[in-house]
Amino acid sequence: MRILGVSAFYHDSAAAVVEDGKIIAAAQEERFSRKKHDSRFPRHAIDYCLAAARAAPQDIDFVAFYDKPFVKFERLLETYVAFAPRGFQSFKMALPLWLREKLFQKSLLLKEMKAYSADVDWSKRLLFAEHHFSHAASAFYPSPFNDAIVLTMDGVGEWATTSVAFGNDNDLTMQRELRFPHSLGLLYSAFTYYAGFKVNSGEYKLMGLAPYGEPKYVDLILDRLIDLKQDGTFRLDQSYFDYCTGLRMTNAKFDELFGGPARKPDELLTQRHMDIAASIQSVTEEIVLRLTRALAHETGARNLCLAGGVALNCVANGKLLRDGCFDQIWVQPAAGDAGGALGAALAAYYSYKKNPRSLNGGGDAMSGSYLGPSFSQGEIERRLHAVGAKFETMAEADLIEATARDLAGEKAVGWFQGKNGIRAESPWRTIHSRRPALRHDAKDAQSQNQISRVVSPLCAVGSA
């Protein structure tokens, strides 16, 4: 059984192919189009994945999309109604786009797949997974664990912003979720915007800026912006943010709280910006630690999987590792929306079709994340000749010596190395931590109401 997973139309479009439960290939569209965070239908990525699987389009049994656009549209409408008349300008700009492209994504997807093969009735092969279920599936199913808690944290999917799932063998069940507009990912993106970086792109810059500052604003954030409970659940004071109704992340009240307007991208970074970055990074780490400590204490689980854009915060992951509340941690390398394509395909194979799952002896199923295209020496040389590049080929030992010499001479070196010749069974997959003698005991009865139980079972894969 071959399943094609697709993520598209928001940011970081991608495709993945799963064959009989094995991940054959996965790639982002931006790698081919050279358009960073390309959101368009991933035609090039799909072409690559089909070629890697040696499959024709008609050989694909199911196409799984990574979220449910109609439910997302429902959230958009309900949000604008809840905040009306605020945000009418934003609503007026967003609605035509949603009506033209987003609401009828099922028809758009069918049209795109018909371009691959008009003879196939793609309507019978098209499936939709909820956004956070795609994230959770991308983290649990490739992991080396037979059972694990799966924590997904991002900006927002359809409604969920933070969710907890439990995976056992081939079963993955969503347990609880925090809902929009209360979002750790959007909180971090709000500070990304305030620091002058691009949302959904520059969050890593904010994380990189944090070590240069002092977390002077932590108490201010906790006192004014977020009501954080002992178990890591929280609520955001929406009076400081504009992402529900406006065309920006923060507003004048936020500016006043932090002593000035948002930095413009071309303005110099100051120590104040560094201190603000350090502060929101510290708050993010505290939220992640409280969430995971509470989950470990409540469930007794010893394995943790992470996905969602917040799971790309490697500094927070490092703090979590050293905290030791879980024995083993596995993070989906493509934790953001690109990984949703893989998650949707895995959700279709295991959750929808109920196929058995077998572990691969302790390593993960991601082939060391070497799932994209590879290039032979001959092909590289042909491409260099085609563009008139001046180059020389060297033996490996000479190449390493020359590179070391250039680095010692403070020269810049660009290094390209494909997956060919790299051992797929890398030991650097599962993060192991020593369990401390004492574990954090997180108890807060009132905070349990801050995370809403899923009233109706989440449909892993189904209609749009």
Whether CATH 3.40.50.450 fits 184-329+443-453: no
pLDDT at 426: 35
By CB atoms closer than 10 A (0-12, 13-18, 19+), residue 272 is middle
Do 2-144+338-359 and 184-329+443-453 show the same overall fold?
yes
Across the chain, which has 464 residues, the per-10-residue mean pLDDT values are: 95 96 96 94 97 96 91 72 63 68 80 93 95 97 96 94 97 96 96 96 96 98 97 96 85 96 96 98 98 97 97 97 96 96 98 91 82 90 93 91 95 83 38 35 36 30 47
Q: In the prediction, which pLDDT does 94 show?
A: 67
| Residue 364 identity | D
pLDDT of 96:
72
Q: Can you read off the two tokens belonging to residue 45?
A: 């990525």
Pick the CATH number of 2-144+338-359 from 3.30.420.40, 1.10.3720.10, 3.90.1200.10, 1.20.1440.130: 3.30.420.40
CB neighbours of residue 248 within 10 Å: 15
For the chain, what is the HEC assignment? CEEEEEECCCCCCEEEEEECCEEEEEEECHHHHCCCCCCCCCHHHHHHHHHHCCCCHHHCCEEEECCCHHHHHHHHHHHHHHHCCCCHHHHHHHHHHHHHHHCCHHHHHHHHHHHHCCCCCHHHCEEEECHHHHHHHHHHCCCCCCEEEEEEECCCCCCEEEEEEEEECCEEEEEEEEECCCCHHHHHHHHHHHCCCCCCCCHHHHHHHHHHCCCCCHHHHHHHHEEECCCCCEEECHHHECCCCCCCCECHHHHHHCCCCCCCCCCCCCHHHHHHHHHHHHHHHHHHHHHHHHHHHHHCCCEEEEECHHHHCHHHHHHHHHHCCCCEEEECCCCCCCHHHHHHHHHHHHHHCCCCCCCCCCCCCCHHHCCCCCCCHHHHHHHHHHCCCCCCCCCHHHHHHHHHHHHHCCCCCCCCCCCCCCCCCCCCCCEECCCCCCCCCCCCHHHHHHCEECCCCCCCEECC
Alpha-carbon gap, residue 63 to 345, rounded angstroms: 7
Q: Where do the domains of the chain lie?
A: 2-144+338-359, 184-329+443-453, 377-408
Half-sphere exposure (Cβ direction) of 190: Cα atoms closer than 13 Å? 30
- Give the contacts of 455 (CB within 8 A, at least 6 positions apart): none
Q: In the chain, what's the furthest Cα-to-Cα distance?
A: 68
Q: What span, in angstroms and rounded, lies between the C-alpha atoms of 173 and 167? A: 6
pLDDT tens per residue, range 80-123: 666 655 656 666 666 776 666 666 788 889 999 999 999 999 99
User: Which among 200, 305, 308 is positioned nearest to 249, based on CA atoms?
Assistant: 200
pLDDT for the residue 80: 64
Alpha-carbon gap, residue 194 to 376, rounded angstroms: 44
Calpha distance 339→349 (Å, rounded): 16
Predicted TM-score (pTM) of this structure: 0.85
pLDDT of residue 255: 97
What is the Cα Rg of the chain in Å?
Answer: 23
Provide the 10 A C-beta neighbour count for residue 39: 17
How far, CA to CA in Å, does 318 sit from each of 87, 232, 329?
39, 18, 11
What does the pLDDT read at residue 2? 98
Burial of 382 (0-12, 13-18, 19+ CB in 10 A): exposed
